[in-house]
Copies of this chain bind each other. A is one copy, B any other.
C-alpha cells in the first residue's frame, strides 16, 4: 500500500484541535473524511503533533496509506479540493510504509507569539496572546535559555497527563522582540515611511525546538516566561521551576491562539 507523508498548515481558530473528538471539527477528522471519499474506505491518519483546540500549524506532518494508486501530487490536489481553506496541504510525498509522523520525528519546532502593547492590531487578534503591560524581554530570554538542554519537564505538563517519561531534550529556546509591526510587516520598501506604526506595541516571538514536548509544555513554559517578563519572578526562577517537577510551581498555561507548530524534522 502506498504510504504518504503530507505537510499541512491550518488556522486552528475554529477547530477542537488536531485530534478527532466526540463533537466539534478536528483537523484529523477533516483529513479522514476527505481520505474516505478518496479511497472508498476508512483511512486512519496519524499526526506528528496533537495540537490543542485553537492552536495553529505552519508545518504539521501527517501520514496515511491508501489502497488507490495515486501520485503524491494527486493526493495533495485531491485533499485540497476536499478540505476547507483554513486547512491546506502544502507538500506531499510518497514514503516508506514504516513511516510514522510522531514516533519517527527527530525534532519539532513550535513558535509562540505575544502581542505586547495596549491595542491589538485586528489582524493579529487570532494569532497572538495579548499582554497589555510592557514585558522585560531580556529577562524572559535569559529564562528561556535555561530551558535549553536535557531536563525533566514534569513541572510543565498538563495535570492528569501520563507520559511514560517527562525528560525531553530542548535544542533551542529563545524569545525576541521582533520589532514594531502593523498588519503584515515590512514587506515593502514603502512600508516604513508610510504605514501607521504604533510605538507602544511589539510582537514577541518565542521559538522552541526539541525532540518532543509534553502536553501543554510550550504554553506552560510561555506562561512561566511571562511571569518573569512581568517582573514577578527573576530569570533564575526558571531553573527552580524545572527542578521542582511540580506543575503548581510553574506559571499559568498561556492561551492557545498564540501557538504554532512550525515544523517537524525526521
Contacts and interface: CB of A to CB of B under 8 A. Distances in A.
A195 B85 contact: no
Given A176-B188, A195-B263, A58 B11 contact: no
A240 to B, nearest CB: 27
Contacts of A174: 188-190
B178 A203 contact: no
Contact of A187 (B123, B178, B183, B209): B178
A211 B120 CA distance: 29
User: In the complex, which of the residues A80, A119, A127, A260 has the most CB atoms of chain B within 10 Å of its own CB atom?
Assistant: A119
Q: Within the oligomer, what is the number of copies of this chain? A: 2
B125 A90 contact: no
A122 interface: yes
Contacts of A123: 9, 11, 56, 127
A86 interface: yes
Interface in A108-137: 109, 111, 113, 119-123, 125, 127
